[in-house]
Amino acid sequence: MTSLNVAQKIIKDHLVEGEMKPGADIALKIDQTLTQDATGTMVMLALEALELDRVKTELSAQYVDHNLIQADNKNADDHLFLESACRRYGVWFSRPGNGVSHPLHMQRFGAPGKTLLGSDSHTPAAGSLGMLAMGAGGLDVAMAMAGEPYRLRMPQLWGVKLTGELPPWVSAKDVILEMLRRHDVDGAVGRIIEYYGPGLAKLTAMDRHVIANMGTELGATSTVFPSDGEIKKFLKSEGREGDWREIFPDENATYDCHEEIDLSKLEPLIARPSSPGDVVPVHEVAGKEIYQSYIGSSANPGYRDFAVCAHMVKGRRMPDIVSFDINPTSCQLLATLTADGRLVDLIEAGARLHQTGCNGCIGMGQAPATGRISLRTVPRNFPGRSGTKEDSVYLCSPETATASALMGRISDPRAVAKNLGIEWPGNIEPVRPIIDKGLLTPPPPVEKARKSELVKGPNIDSLPVTAPLPDRLEIPVLLKVGDNISTDEILPAGARVLPYRSNIPKISQFAFETIDATYARRAHELLDEAKDRDGAGHIILGGKNYGQGSSREHAALAPRFAGLRVVIAKSYARIHKSNLANFGVLPLEFAHEEDYDRLEKGQVITFDHLREAVKEQDCIEGKSGGKTFKFRQHLLPREREYILAGGHISYWRSKHGK
């Protein structure tokens, strides 16, 4: 292989095991890791369980951006625990108020040619810089911090050639919405998307961040851009020009599959409730009255994403019926918007200013009224994710969100600009750019770190021990769900549930509550009734793309604590399937899809000689009602060992004699 694309170049430089052939098992050296507070406590508790002395990556950073509401002690206690763990293990710590992890990591630490593994599914946003950045479960990230390579199947490389130039009032969000319109939420499963071509010339580093961030909603393993002059310009603006290196695809580089987008032909797009893949042109839904317009999140975090809104509302006022929510994504951005006077324009127009962080994107405040439309620049609109059970969330660009807010109804920004006489501002640059590193704490020297103790509040407990896989399971199907079940539906996010992220017994009580409020109770009752707890438990049946969405391993660990031993689905989202294996849950797939319709809740399935089957066979048999069913296991060899041992931590500890 002489001519390589960008992704192949980075993979080649970091390949520890395997070959760069699609579907082959590979292992990659990880340079950097990213953790955030909703998943970070599990990562730090895993490091404690591993008895790690100090992280072995080039750089690891922990951000506090998700659970910022301090309604009681729980979130505050977790923040102190994370700070103490960063001191102990040698990790950079980003304090509450500093901002959202993805744009911050891009500004402070991201570097072309590096690998990044993050316990957040939107970690691929850093691919905007020419990195290979991937989301993973917290346990996989903890292992990378312990010096282990990251194992996966070599993805296909999907080349997307960009030509033309975005027209006025169409922006980067419309590019990724166009990809979702074409391919839906599972169109890039098992693939790395790489954008290239002359259309990149007018896309800034932050424009690329918007596109790379939401590649996750396509199911992509990662999204990669070249490192060109725009990336050099961005790093220079952050005082980091020395970290830049040029990375382009070779002239004759090829891709496993190919796509082309003429940017000049795009129009404002919008994703309807309740899927990022249900995308239509804005004019098709125009005229519907809205309740809320929400600007911010990791999916639109740049200065330009807020400045264009300020430009549009300057000298104007929001209708009384509209809540215009502004969520600055970093302390640095908030300071720059203030210095430039943009923040005043937003506030005078009637904006509600919220603290820097993820906030309403994951249901931490700003929930819309029941049945009322909320337009958001966030990456996801899964059912109930906003914090309102019966929500109606649309995903769109800042231009569409602001134009609609001004009108009080869903509106095409091109028509609003024409009617109100708003000039297209182009790519707005900050007048007084500010660089703020004050809320980042570097790790202490090794000897000082070793003297640090973990600070655990009353809501923080060590990771529960999971038992090895027994040779025989005779357990019932406790739940059957459909296609595209998200991790938010498996375990809700939001201010009510996530404060218990460090308390697995408590958080397990919320599992699947939006689908079946009786699930957790029935699961725990089944465990309590069992005489042989190691052989007890239950099965969940799932449809296609089971576990899409967030990387939160709680969606695997909480049901596992409640007795989940086996999931049988038509197909899986990559990260969730890995999380199941990491905690000793056996993820199987139907060998014959019609068997999904033949198995129902309440049926008991028996697996005999299970350990040998997991270790040696790709097809596992289960018996129910006198019939034999066949299930496939598409697992990495190492994942099979994790399941046999009862989970990744148990495997690692036995391997290292701990």
Q: Domains of the chain: which residue ranges?
A: 6-265, 269-420, 473-655
Average pLDDT over residues 252-259: 96
Give the pLDDT score at 658. Answer: 64
pLDDT tens string 404-450: 999 999 999 999 999 999 999 998 999 999 999 889 999 999 999 99
Position 162 scores a pLDDT of 98
Q: Who has greater pLDDT, 55 or 501? A: 55
Per the DSSP assignment, residues forming a β-bridge with 269 are 281
CATH superfamily of 6-265: Aconitase, domain 3 (3.30.499.10)
Alpha carbon separation from 260 to 160, 161, 194, 545, 600 (Å, rounded): 5, 5, 11, 25, 43
Structure tokens at 336: 């720059």
Q: Do domains 6-265 and 269-420 have the same CATH topology?
A: yes
Quick: pLDDT tens for 171-224.
Answer: 999 999 999 999 999 999 999 999 999 999 999 999 999 999 999 999 999 999
Q: What is the pLDDT of residue 1?
A: 57
For residues 620-631, one letter each, b for 16 or more C-beta atoms within 10 angstroms of the residue's C-beta and e for the rest, the string is: bbbebeeeebeb
Mean pLDDT in residue range 101-119: 97
Which of these ranges, 47-51, 342-346, 597-601, 623-627, has the smallest mean pLDDT?
47-51
DSSP alpha helices (H): ranges in 184-330?
205-213, 229-237, 303-313
The pairs formed by 448-453 with CB atoms below 8 angstroms and a separation of 24 or more are: 448/87, 449/54, 449/87, 449/88, 449/89, 449/90, 450/53, 450/88, 452/84, 452/87, 452/88, 453/84, 453/88
CATH fold label, 473-655: Aconitase; domain 4 (3.20.19)
Q: What is the pLDDT confidence band of residue 460, given thresholds at 50, 70 and 90?
A: confident
d(CA 325, CA 350): 9
Residue 489: name the closest of 462, 467, 517, 463 by CA: 517
Tell me the per-residue pLDDT of 11-21, one tens digit each, with 9 for 90 and over.
999 999 999 99
Residue 321 has what DSSP assignment?
T
pLDDT band at 502 (very low <50, low <70, confident <90, very high): confident
What average pLDDT does the structure give for the chain?
Answer: 94
Q: Residue 274, preceding bond cis, omega within 30 degrees?
A: yes
Q: Give whole-number Cα distances, 298 to 41, 337, 342, in Å.
A: 21, 17, 20
Element (H, E) at 157: strand 156-163
CA distance 630 to 621: 5
Q: Are 25 and 110 in contact (CB under 8 A)?
A: no
CATH fold label, 269-420: Aconitase; domain 3 (3.30.499)
List of residues 6+ apart from 435 with CB closer than 8 A? 238, 239, 332
The enclosing H or E element of 353 equals strand 351-353
pLDDT at 531: 67
Q: How is residue 164 annotated by DSSP?
A: S
How much of the chain, in percent, has pLDDT values that exceed 70?
Answer: 99
